[in-house]
Amino acid sequence: MTVLYVVLGVVAFLLLCLVVMYNRFVRQRTLVDESWGGIDVELTRRHELIPNLVETVQGYADHERAVLESLTRAREAATAHRSDDPARRSEFEESVGRALTEVLARVEAYPDLQASQSFLDLQDELTNTEDRIAAARRFYNGNVRAYNTRVATFPSNLVAAMFGFRAREFFEVTDVHVRSAPSV
């Protein structure tokens, strides 16, 4: 009878461990999803600021239309791919960052535009947004790192395989020019 109690105790302990590990995976997966939502919010904010920037710059630099159209196309492509996975979406976001950097670099040739209060406000908002995107990306990637570590390490990798928890992709910026916020 004692052996039966020991076996039942071991089985109960193993089941409890399984439940605890499963719940940790669910919590971490939810945290990764939530932190991806934070990135999405900031990217959407940037996408909403871009038309205002284009409109403001167009009034001063009408012959820079090609650069502005490039930024508009990049924004539209990124917006169209909002539901893509992080790796695929980062390509489009990098093109937005490159185009944004190009526009802000061209602005330096227009002293009147640089003195415009609406442009300065937009520039400040874009800089703040880029900083917030970087912070959200760091938070997301930290959560993905912790989650992926749990998926790959023993014994939690057994639970991950059993319940279909898969490693997540990092949201990385590979373009050197986009790694930093646009200079203002």
Q: Give the model confidence (pLDDT) of 23-47 as tens digits.
A: 999 999 999 999 999 999 999 999 9
Stretch among 37-46, 110-119, 166-175 having the lowest mean pLDDT: 110-119
Helix and strand numbers, DSSP H then E, in the chain: 6, 0
Number of neighbouring beta carbons within 10 Å of residue 184 = 14
Closest CA to 152 of 170, 165, 140: 165
pLDDT band at 175 (very low <50, low <70, confident <90, very high): low
Closest CA to 82 of 36, 141, 136, 151: 36
pLDDT band at 178 (very low <50, low <70, confident <90, very high): very low
Section 68-78 average pLDDT: 90
Residue-range domains of the chain with CATH? 36-184 (1.20.1440.20)
Closest CA to 162 of 7, 35, 14, 5: 14
Tokens linked to 28: 């971490």
Stretch among 17-21, 104-108, 114-118, 121-125 having the lowest mean pLDDT: 114-118
The pLDDT, as a whole number, for residue 184 is 46
Q: What's the whole-number average pLDDT of the chain?
A: 87
Closest CA to 133 of 70, 75, 180, 76: 180
- Please give the single-letter amino acid code of residue 46: R
User: Using CA of residue 68, residue 70, residue 76, residue 81, what is the dihedral sign?
Assistant: negative
The answer to whether residue 16 scores a pLDDT higher than 50 is: yes
The pLDDT, as a whole number, for residue 63 is 66
Quote the CA–CA distance of 51 and 61 in Å, as a whole number. Answer: 15
Quote the CA–CA distance of 17 and 6 in Å, as a whole number. Answer: 16
Number of neighbouring beta carbons within 10 Å of residue 153 = 10
